[in-house]
Amino acid sequence: MLPEKLRSIFRKESEPASPAHHPSSLAGSSPARKPFKPNPPVTRVSRGLEQFFFEIRDLVGLSILDLAGATQENINFLTSLGHKIYSQDIVRSLDDAFGPDPAQQTNPALIEAFLRNNLDYAADTFDGVLLWDSLQFMGPALVNATVERLSQVMRPKSYLLAFFTANERVTEVMSYAFRIIDNRTILLAERGIRPSGQVFNNRNLEKLFAKFESVKFFLTRESLREVIVRR
């Protein structure tokens, strides 16, 4: 007779594994995607923003287009300078217009509908455009069409501010909400990771804004390339 302790061990080894732990129950499964948890917002100095406001100093009554969506901070700051602000969340509009498939950004009908919904303004309407990081998430056809439309709705000698990642190898980029603290300081709040539409370096940015009068670059310690463009 085996001792009771040994009989108990043999019984456990001969019992089949429970479905919850059996290796075959994991076949074909994939780990659940972790929910996005943003880091705390970061406040930092922006040389591009400082240059933007330097160029329009001493002017009032300008029309400024903010394409990161309406935020109370931006509205308060721009109206305190005596300007009119127009807001549109162009990054969120990308999802509404094209869905999750980047290939849809090549569809001419969808591109035209996107421009109509976001940039349907008369020629020479704006004295400044805060484009922020939105161009990063557009493929070549869409980004070219968007910049072309912006060149039409901006007045001559007006300025545009845009941000791009300086890392040219990434395929996904963090999207931010931008809140203006003062004329040289912004608060960056993470919105989530999005696919990068294409690689942006100084050379192809100069080509993208070839119809504009000038392009100026600022490289930050957060590996962001800030770009000031003069219409």
Q: What is the pLDDT of residue 32?
A: 53
| Selection from 115, 124, 77, 74 nearest residue 93 by Cα | 115
Whether residue 143 contacts residue 198, with contact meaning beta carbons closer than 8 Å, is answered with: yes
Q: What is the pLDDT of residue 199?
A: 82
Cβ density class 48-78: b for 16+ within 10 Å, e for less: bbbbbbebbeeeeebbbbbbbbebeebeebb
| Residue 29 pLDDT greater than 80, yes or no | no
Confidence of residue 33 (pLDDT cuts 50, 70, 90): low
Confidence of residue 9 (pLDDT cuts 50, 70, 90): very low
Alpha helices of 119-161 — where are they, by DSSP H?
140-153
Confidence of residue 30 (pLDDT cuts 50, 70, 90): very low
Q: What is the pLDDT of residue 170?
A: 82
Domain count, the chain: 1
Question: Rounded distance, CA 46 to CA 206, Å?
Answer: 21
- Can you say how many angstroms the Cα of residue 24 is from the centroid of all Cα atoms in its chain? 41
| Residue 6 pLDDT greater than 80, yes or no | no
Q: Does the residue 20 lie in any domain?
A: no
Question: Rounded distance, CA 134 to CA 67, Å?
Answer: 8
The domain that contains 181 carries what CATH number?
3.40.50.150
Question: Rounded distance, CA 168 to CA 18, Å?
Answer: 48
Q: Does the residue 120 lie in any domain?
A: yes
| Residue 20 pLDDT greater than 70, yes or no | no
Lowest-confidence range among 102-106, 143-147, 195-199?
Answer: 195-199
Structural domain for 109, as ranges: 42-230
Q: Does the residue 35 lie in any domain?
A: no
Question: Rounded distance, CA 165 to CA 224, Å?
Answer: 5
| Residue 55 pLDDT greater than 90, yes or no | yes
Better pLDDT: 7 or 151: 151
Q: Does the residue 57 lie in any domain?
A: yes
Confidence of residue 34 (pLDDT cuts 50, 70, 90): low
Q: Does the residue 211 lie in any domain?
A: yes
Write the pLDDT tens digit of every residue in 182-198.
999 999 999 989 888 78
Q: Does the residue 3 lie in any domain?
A: no
Q: Residues near 4 by Cβ (< 8 Å), separated by ≥ 6?
A: none
Q: Does the residue 216 lie in any domain?
A: yes
Better pLDDT: 63 or 11: 63
Q: Does the residue 28 lie in any domain?
A: no
| Residue 15 pLDDT greater than 60, yes or no | no
| Selection from 16, 51, 36 nearest residue 220 by Cα | 51
Report percent pLDDT > 90 for the chain.
65
